[in-house]
Amino acid sequence: MAILAVNAGSSSLKFSLHPLQDGQVQPFVLSGNIQGLEPQGSPCMDWTYRGKKHSEPLAVSAGSSSFEAALHNVRALVNRLEAAPDIEAIAHRVVHGGGVFTQSVLVTDEVLQRLASFNSLAPLHQPHNLEGIRQFRAAFAHLPQIACFDTAFHASMPEVDFAFALPQSLQAQGVRRYGFHGLSYQYIMSVLQEQTLRGRGRVVMAHLGNGASLCAALAGSSVATTMGFSALDGLMMGTRSGALDAGVLLYLMEQGWTHAQMEKLLYKQSGLLGVSGISADMRKLRADGSENAQRAINQFTHRVIRETGALVACLGGLDVLAFSGGIGENDVELRAHVCERLSWLGIRMDAQRNQEATGKHAYAIHAPDSSVEVWVIPTDEGRVAAREAAALLEQQRTPLVAAGSALA
């Protein structure tokens, strides 16, 4: 048996199949990414099965949407693969659980309705996450669908960190910091605690990609993070602004900007793309070499350094710094610059190991005399979602087994 992990976005559908062995979730045997699902896109499915890579265009039949075609192809792919394990459940990444869902949950109509009320808090992600669940429920009606939340890992944050300096009546309505990238941080933390005893101490994790955030953890639990009420706060990102003086929005409103215009500005026209005017892709900016590209890179890096310092202050020191995400895992220069600027903490990087750390496994890049361990850890949100689903299914089975024993 296996768990199928799904991450449905606005223009892509990522999936991975994780076998269960003795009740434990194993690394994926199948993973894939279907891109180009946006209107007028060119859908293509890239997938890897047992280490062998494949790529094929996605045919969309008349009368069908590209998402429906993607769903059909995922189902057909799993069915046609030789020796592929049977699917026991489908685990879905859902960005926002609000203050209601602090652990993974079996999806029902009522759950979907409640989750839809959080759409405005994560408009780039939540509606597409939920549409993915609806489509998979329809296509795999016999399988349990389980929602796994990016906000859940941060449920341990103290009120002093999650509360805004606003009237209590607004906090009672749910206006507070939630934090995101929780599935990624949960995976990074589990790997760190396997690799080093310091992983149980004071840790700052940097999930740096098109979406970017930092998380401070103590004894494995989140105590502070840079993202807040929405996925806009904190670090500069690919197309998102990050932290912004609220007075800027008041000014734009006075200038006649509408809600839709401001939402588009903050979510889709800012960040690396907005500052550079070139691209939201750090790789393209590195290759560009122009003054505007360098300005965007410098600003992104500075925000990482600045916010790391703030989280270290919350922790009272630092034992481990971990990089992850598309930029964190692959941008050698950024890691070197961040560690150099944080050398006052006693961080010493091994330049050779930093160059080598672009593989598939956790890799330590600190020098022997470093006071702080520095790791590069490729994240695996799908595996965490699969673990969450397997644990929830086991919880549901346990009462039945106990009841059966009692009757016997």
Read off the pLDDT of residues 168-218 as tens digits, 9 standing for 90 and up. Answer: 999 999 999 999 999 999 999 999 999 999 999 999 999 999 999 999 999
Q: What is the pLDDT of residue 280?
A: 93
Residue 319: CB atoms within 10 A of its CB come to: 19
Tell me the whole-structure pTM to 2 decimals.
0.91
Alpha-carbon distances of 186 from 86, 297, 385, rounded to whole Å: 26, 28, 10
Percent of the chain with pLDDT over 70: 97
Decide: 382 and 28 in contact? Cβ < 8 Å. yes
Helix axes of 381-407 and 182-195: crossing angle, nearest 10 degrees: 80
Residues at the binding site are: 7, 14, 93, 207-211, 281-283, 326-330, 381
DSSP secondary structure, 195-231, as one string: H-GGGGSEEEEEEESSSEEEEEEETTEEEEES--SST
Q: Nearest 5°: phi and psi at 296?
A: -65, -45
| Closest among 85, 184, 148 to 390, alpha carbons compared | 148
Annotated binding site for Mg(2+): 7, 381
* Residue 62 in this model has a pLDDT that exceeds 80: no
Q: Tokens 């929830």 — which residue?
A: 392
Annotated binding site for substrate: 93
Each as own residue / partner, the long-range contacts of residues 120-124 (CB below 8 Å, 24 or more positions apart, any chain) are 121/96, 121/178, 121/229, 121/230, 121/231, 122/95, 122/96, 122/180, 122/230, 122/231, 123/263, 123/267, 124/10, 124/231, 124/267, 124/268
Domain with CATH 3.30.420.40 in the chain: 2-149+384-403, 182-377
Mean pLDDT of 350-354: 97
CATH T-level topology, domain 182-377? Nucleotidyltransferase; domain 5 (3.30.420)
Percent of the chain at pLDDT exceeding 90: 74
Binding-site annotation: residue ranges for ATP: 14, 207-211, 281-283, 326-330
Class of domain 2-149+384-403: alpha beta
Active site residues: 150
Mean pLDDT of 16-34: 90
Q: How many angstroms from the chain centroid is the CA of residue 343?
A: 28
337 pLDDT above the threshold of 50: yes
